[in-house]
Structure 1
Amino acid sequence: MSVDDLAPKPASIPPQPPTQPPQFDTLLGHPKPLWMLFMAEFWERFAFYGIRWALTLYIVAQFAGGSSTGEGDANRTYGAYLALVYASAIFGGYVADRIIGYQRSILLGAVVMAVGLFMIALPSQLLFEFGLSTIIVGNGLFKPNISSMVGQLYAPGDARRDRGFTLFYMGINAGSFFSPLLTGWLAEQVFGTPMTQNYKAVFVASGFGMLISLVWFWLGKRQLKGIGLPPAGGESLLRVLWVAIGCILAIPLVYLLLAKLGATPLAWLLGLLFIGLAVMLLMEAVRTGVVQTHRVIAMLIIFLFNVMFFMFFEQAGSSFNFLAQNIVDRGIGGWEFPVGWFQSVNPVGIILFAPLVTLVWAFLDKRRLEPSIPRKFGLGLIFNGLAFALLMFALSALVDGSGRIPLWTLVAVYLVQTVGELCLSPIGLSMVTKLAPVRLVGLAMGGWFLATAIGNNLSGIFAGIVSGESGMTVDSALTGYTFGFWSLIGAGVLLFLLAPLINKLMHGVK
């Protein structure tokens, strides 16, 4: 039985985002609600990144007795967790589109996520895995819908849309910057107790961050002037109750997928889910016309390249953590750089580079030289590949007598990856709002996150291979990251070659 079957009064008219949004006052050239939305996302990202750096390290410390033989399982669990976080966006997008609207989905999702974040602090593997499952369900309601609402602030054809998404992306990454610094400091400096206890404080701090996001959005939602309200006929609060019951029922199912299914079967399941979503989008597009059908095909092609990008980009929370802990020389004048702080390098790069990338796109646009969407994606893949080229160099030429590489190399890897991310991720969010069928924007945004989910699950499998059965070594890391380099460069070049065809399918969308 689907959530739609549980709803007592199904909407007779599917929701359609307004073709012209309300008139908003502007701040720094953009609608004021943009800043409210990215501050809500700021605190959600604070919560997400607060646990991101600690999860694999905690799993090894708490459930593998600190043995490096647990790295592979930790990597695969982390990859499956991230995959399900993003896959759940499909259902969250559908719930927002058809049942309770975007605003109520975000609020309910924030409540569920906060509960899960507090659960993972409890000293039990069963409760830890159920807590992760609860976070996954809540994130499905929150994440795709707040991004979809950003697109609805701009009229069709508004040239500010791409730049608005880039600014949104920059703003939310401020939360990603502060969270690892604060939680890493809590874990390593404050308590003077074993790290397995300190990680729990990290999880609790992240739970409070999610509560702040909840309150912030609740107080600021009036600024949206009706954007994101329930679909016609769906105003009853009873629908919210049915969706909440659906969330409770979904948590045990997600637990089975996370803890019992395994990463490889999950990859096949996500692939089938992607095929089903593609069929739904294409069926809707065919009803609309040839142009919409072509645009959906173009969007789905780009989704496939997104899988490749995140398969290697999302080593940050898995194999890069063990690289930082075991192979990077983190000593600085007698002080040791905390492992968690590496997670702040990426958001710092976004905060520094996002305005520059925005200016570059605007500069090129005025001269009609701005790269097309597929070529921006190709650049993202190539920059990601260059980061792995730097790792190849460090692991083959810069290893010292104690088997460690310089700290600056991993910092530089994160920064180069950040440039690639800025060429791809914010543009991808904007692309979905332009190419998706109007009636299924939330579902299509879920498709974007499903592609990311498939990449994240593959990232966990790949990270497990890099660590091997006995833990990461210089040789295993070099072999794995060399494969990553050639895969990314090859995909980037292929996308550049396919760009003219994809642009033709997009029918003028820039």
Structure 2
Amino acid sequence: MFKNQPAGLYVLALANTGERFGYYTMLAIFLLFLQAKFGLDSTVSGQIYAGFLALVYFMPLIGGWVADKWSFSKCVVTGLFVMFIGYLIMAIPTDIRSTSSLVILFCALLLIACGTGLFKGNLQVMVGDLYNEARYSGQRDAAFSLFYMAINIGSMFAPMAATAMCNLALKSQGLTYVSSLPTLCNAYLDGAENGADLSATIAENGMTAGSDLTAFANDYITTLSTGYSYAFAIACGSLIVSFLIYFLGRRTYAHILVDKKQPATGAKSTAATAGPELTPAQTKQRVVALLLVFAVVIFFWMVFHQNGATLTEFAKSCTSPEAGGWTRIGFNVWALLSIAVGVYALFNLFQSKGTVSRVVSVVILALVAWAVWYFYSVTPDPLTGIQPQEYQQFNPFYVVALTPVSLAFFGWLAKRNAEPSAPRKIGYGMIMAAIAYVLMLIGSLGIVGTNASVSPNWLISTYLLLTFAELLLSPMGISFVSKVAPPKLKGSMMGGWFAATAIGNYLVSIPMILWGKIPTYMVWGILVVICLISAAFIFSIMKKLEAATSDSTPTEADPLENVEDDAI
């Protein structure tokens, strides 16, 4: 997994880790921020959330076109700067429940989306270009899995950072987070006659409102919104770190950089950037295959990115804020990191041939076991006050922990000539996503409206199944685009991947529109049906997709060659 990888992979992956940490810190609380600061309901906030996600993933289409004409590296650096300005605007507290504040927010979101468009897809094209050399070509899929794992290391810590900033702001004013309070406060300020409910909730959670509920409601929303702004400031810092990593590590990927205004010179530059010449028929076949995959990708991201939408709503209003037993350590990100380290140490123990390496693995496993027991012992039972965004750390944790399992499994299949093709993996991913929402459907059968309190384990288990789906679809899909895209259309085709993702992200708003208007289990049922229809579609066109894959160059034909030997 880590062997036979160019040094540039680690530089680009770490640069992306910092950027993704900031982005997911913001995204973890974005829906809650909209609902708290502006008093928006689930429908309107869901529309804004989905619209922003759509714009974030649509802009790489334009960014890819710009890079094809200009420079991938210059687009990456420019994107970091533009995103920084956007996050900086969001980090400055503004008036609550204000139209002018909402306009300022929209301007910041537009900057973040434009910056992401210049940065995200083009950085991934650069990663793919590292593997155009014959000595690295067999590690392309493994590389994108590593790259994807690095993204999730950043996003795993994001909810913790956002939660810490919220708690910091609230505690400074003697307040505590209660998921129902922002809605109650905004409703009271809107003139609802819910003073008794608001007062009762305040008292039940150890706070004092005094005689002026209006003042308390304003103070609570202002303080919570300020905490969210602190979290956005963290995103600014993460972009500075990303830029430093990218700039200081330039020599590791300098050989793939080509100024689009100048012809590439030298055999090495030509090999790294030009790729094989294709006939018009081959180009058409590849583009059609990619467009068909993009059609399925739309619906995967529609169901997957419910993590910040309906799944967050479910965590806020339908899930108990308490966790007991072993479940409670899942809300400690350091415990999760320890478990992930243990997974890698376990793989290294069985795959290492040297005695010293095995001894080190045993020592690490012993330390991990101690750490997990320590976190279990010191965490209160039950753990209370769980905030909705904290559930979003489970998906990146699962990605980090399961990536070596995934690579080793598919490497084992590849050695036996039984590994599924990338399109087939995408189809299996849609089936797995359907299973995930079947679990949510079962867990929601006893819920009337959105008033209930089910175990956190329903969401935790659903995120596990969605992660299996993600590992089957997302890194393999990106690798498929990088491998199959015609050389002269790499930036545009990678942008097409993100454009399909953008459409899927906008469709995230549909379940949010239905939230609270139909029984909760029916929302999940709709997502199950969408996943199954998408899976049936991709299996129906499998021959066309696999034909495009087999048309790849000989150096790209076996992307997971030697993965089993190099899995860790």
Which amino acid counterpart does residue 221 of structure 1 have in structure 2? R
Which amino acid counterpart does residue 122 of structure 2 have in structure 1? N
Aligned-partner Cα distance in 1 for 2:493–2:64: 8
Out of 13, 27, 31, the residue aligned to residue 38 of structure 1 is 13
Q: 1:59 aligned to 2:34?
A: yes
* Other-structure match for 2:91: 121
Instruction: Note closer, same or farther for the CA distance 1:234–1:78 as it changes in structure 2 (3 Å cut).
Output: farther
Q: 1:300 aligned to 2:270?
A: no
Which amino acid counterpart does residue 233 of structure 1 have in structure 2? Q
Which amino acid counterpart does residue 55 of structure 1 have in structure 2? F
Aligned-partner Cα distance in 2 for 1:325–1:362: 40
Deviation beyond 6 Å, 4+ runs, structure 1: 398-402
C-alpha contact 2:63 2:122 (8 A) present in aligned 1? yes
C-alpha contact 1:75 1:464 (8 A) present in aligned 2? yes
Q: 1:499 aligned to 2:542?
A: yes
* Other-structure match for 2:379: none
Which amino acid counterpart does residue 27 of structure 2 have in structure 1? R
Q: 1:433 aligned to 2:412?
A: no
SS in 2 for 1:53: helix
Instruction: Note closer, same or farther for the CA distance 1:500–1:234 as it changes in structure 2 (3 Å cut).
Output: closer
Aligned-partner Cα distance in 1 for 2:467–2:159: 17
Identical pairs, percent = 29
Matches within 5 A, 1:233-248: 233=262
Out of 379, 393, 396, the residue aligned to residue 344 of structure 1 is 393
- Name which one, 1 or 2, has greater alpha-carbon Rg: 2
Aligned-partner Cα distance in 2 for 1:41–1:401: 37
Out of 290, 312, 319, the residue aligned to residue 328 of structure 1 is 319
C-alpha contact 1:381 1:488 (8 A) present in aligned 2? yes
Out of 137, 144, 166, the residue aligned to residue 187 of structure 1 is 166
Aligned-partner Cα distance in 2 for 1:156–1:496: 32
Deviation at 1:175, TM superposition (A): 0.2
* Other-structure match for 2:496: 447
Deviation at 1:197, TM superposition (A): 1.6
Matches within 5 A, 1:37-436: 37-64=12-39, 70-99=41-70, 101-122=71-92, 123=94, 124-155=101-132, 158-189=137-168, 191-192=170-171, 193=173, 194-233=223-262, 288-332=279-323, 333=382, 335-397=384-446, 403-436=452-485
Deviation at 1:136, TM superposition (A): 0.7
C-alpha contact 2:296 2:534 (8 A) present in aligned 1? yes
Aligned-partner Cα distance in 2 for 1:401–1:376: 35
Aligned-partner Cα distance in 1 for 2:170–2:262: 53
Deviation at 1:507, TM superposition (A): 3.6
SS in 2 for 1:433: helix
Deviation at 1:431, TM superposition (A): 0.9
Deviation at 1:390, TM superposition (A): 0.5
SS in 2 for 1:226: helix
C-alpha contact 1:188 1:338 (8 A) present in aligned 2? no
Which amino acid counterpart does residue 210 of structure 1 have in structure 2? L
Deviation at 1:132, TM superposition (A): 0.5
Which amino acid counterpart does residue 14 of structure 2 have in structure 1? M
Aligned-partner Cα distance in 1 for 2:55–2:494: 15
Which amino acid counterpart does residue 411 of structure 1 have in structure 2? I
C-alpha contact 1:286 1:293 (8 A) present in aligned 2? no
* Other-structure match for 1:255: none
C-alpha contact 1:295 1:507 (8 A) present in aligned 2? no
Aligned-partner Cα distance in 1 for 2:412–2:541: 25
CA offset digits 1:247-290 (Å, max 9, x no partner): xxxxxxxxxxxxxxxxxxxxxxxxxxxxxxxxxxxxxx998321
Deviation at 1:156, TM superposition (A): 6.3
C-alpha contact 1:399 1:405 (8 A) present in aligned 2? no
C-alpha contact 1:89 1:446 (8 A) present in aligned 2? yes
* Other-structure match for 1:471: none
Deviation at 1:401, TM superposition (A): 12
C-alpha contact 1:92 1:142 (8 A) present in aligned 2? yes
Instruction: Note closer, same or farther for the CA distance 1:229–1:401 as it changes in structure 2 (3 Å cut).
Output: closer
Q: Structure 2 length normalisation: TM-score? A: 0.71
Q: Which sections of structure 2, spanning at least 5 residues, go unmatched?
A: 95-100, 174-222, 265-275, 324-381, 558-568
CA offset digits 1:167-222 (Å, max 9, x no partner): 11011210000111122122135542431221111111111111211222111122
Aligned-partner Cα distance in 1 for 2:401–2:2: 20
CA offset digits 1:107-147 (Å, max 9, x no partner): 11001101101112331111111000110111110000110
Deviation at 1:417, TM superposition (A): 0.4
Which amino acid counterpart does residue 165 of structure 1 have in structure 2? F
Instruction: Note closer, same or farther for the CA distance 1:307–1:286 as it changes in structure 2 (3 Å cut).
Output: farther
Out of 473, 480, 498, the residue aligned to residue 523 of structure 2 is 480
Instruction: Note closer, same or farther for the CA distance 1:400–1:455 as it changes in structure 2 (3 Å cut).
Output: closer
Instruction: Note closer, same or farther for the CA distance 1:401–1:294 as it changes in structure 2 (3 Å cut).
Output: closer
Q: Which sections of structure 1, spanning at least 5 residues, go unmatched?
A: 1-25, 236-284, 469-474
SS in 1 for 2:91: coil
Aligned-partner Cα distance in 1 for 2:116–2:501: 14
SS in 1 for 2:262: coil
* Other-structure match for 2:514: 465
C-alpha contact 2:449 2:520 (8 A) present in aligned 1? no
Which amino acid counterpart does residue 407 of structure 2 have in structure 1? T
Aligned-partner Cα distance in 2 for 1:185–1:151: 36
Q: Structure 1 length normalisation: TM-score? A: 0.79
C-alpha contact 1:42 1:175 (8 A) present in aligned 2? yes
SS in 2 for 1:233: coil
Deviation at 1:292, TM superposition (A): 2.2
Deviation at 1:155, TM superposition (A): 2.4
